[in-house]
Amino acid sequence: MKKITLVLFTLLVTLSMGQLSAQTCGNGTGIAYLNAVGVADEAAIIAAATSDIPPANHHFTATPSSITSTGIHSVTIFLRNNGGHIQGSCTTNITVLPFGGLPPIAICQDFTTQLDATGNVTISPSDIDNGSNDPAGGTVTLSLDQTTFTCTDVGTPVLVTLTVTSDTTGNTATCTATVTVEDNIAPTAVCQNITIQLDGAGNASIIAADIGGGSMDNCGSVTLSASQTAFTCADLGPNNVTLTVDDGNGNSSTCVSVVTVEDATNPTITCPGNQVGSVDASCNFTLPDYTALATPADNCPGVVVTQVP
């Protein structure tokens, strides 16, 4: 009987002093939450300390069995049989968070984006996020109150709100950032050739739209300007005129139009009065040159007066 008793006692001591594997207690990153009355109970502590399932006819207990303050706490997990005897233990740290958990941390960054050829651009929450996180180590979901931008947003910074939601607790946090929308696409310049007529004073003028052939921009409105809009007799014939198309956002493009200047105004002439001449002995009369007595007029200089006969 003494021998049997000694063996049983030795076996009991061995089991009571057993150590659970380090894997049972994890790596010290477990999280427990205070409940509505401000207590993290034993079940919450065990769940935070280990993800293992005790073998049949065994269960886990924890020391301490309850925690009432937030922060990092050292806890010991015991494996017990149904008789309450300790079969092994391990110690680890757990983090206790307030009831409902800590809110996530929202971190924003300003962002600059460019419109596309249609005058639109879409951004994603990740463009604004600058490391938002859940302090409890969980994952987060990001969302923005505005993701699409158009030409109306160019030149005026847009304030957007990033919402960070903890996938574990549902708690949210927000931050704001400035989105700067740029239009870096040059307009398309389209020219057309035209023909114009000088007026009675030898002048003609055009506006830039006269040589525009449907210039366009991703943001719609453009401003046209021409390198030459006034023409005189000195410009008769073809003239190369440069059309500049500006979108108002710092982008421009050009094309060249041929403006042909014509003078369709006939000159006028005031002839000298009737002249009297005498024939010679042979009854012949030589007609003198009367062109100097004529008074010509035209909208352009260089009128040539001829006399027939």
Residue range 117-157, pLDDT digits in tens = 999 999 999 999 999 999 878 899 999 999 999 999 999 99
- For β-strands 252-262 and 194-197, DSSP reports them as parallel
| Topology match between the domains 2-97 and 185-269+279-309 | yes
Rounded CA gap, 277 and 288, in Å?
Answer: 9
Confidence grade of residue 16 (pLDDT, cut at 50, 70, 90): very low
Tokens 């790596």: give the residue.
Answer: 27
The whole-chain average pLDDT of the chain stands at 90
The pTM for the full model equals: 0.64
Element (DSSP H or E) covering residue 128: helix 125-128
pLDDT digits (tens, 9 = 90+) for 34-49: 888 889 999 999 998 8
Query: If pLDDT is split at 50, 70 and 90, which confidence band does 51 have?
Result: confident
CATH superfamily ID and name for 185-269+279-309: Immunoglobulins (2.60.40.10)
Of 105, 92, 21, nearest to 55 by C-alpha is 21
Domain residue ranges of the chain, discontinuous segments joined by +: 2-97, 111-182, 185-269+279-309
Is the pLDDT at 1 greater than 90, yes or no?
no
* Model pLDDT, residue 263: 95
Query: What are the strands, taking DSSP E only, across 98-202?
Result: 111-114, 120-122, 140-144, 148-150, 158-166, 172-182, 194-197
Q: 295: closest CA among 305, 308, 280? A: 305
CATH architecture of 2-97: Sandwich (2.60)
| Separation CA 134–CA 140 (nearest Å) | 6
Point out the least confidently predicted range of 70-79, 117-126, 142-151, 158-167: 70-79
What does the pLDDT average to over 260-289?
89
Q: Pairing between strand 172-182 and 158-166?
A: antiparallel
Burial annotation 179-205 (CB, 10 A radius, 16+ → b, else e) = bbbbbebbbebbbeeeebebeeebebe
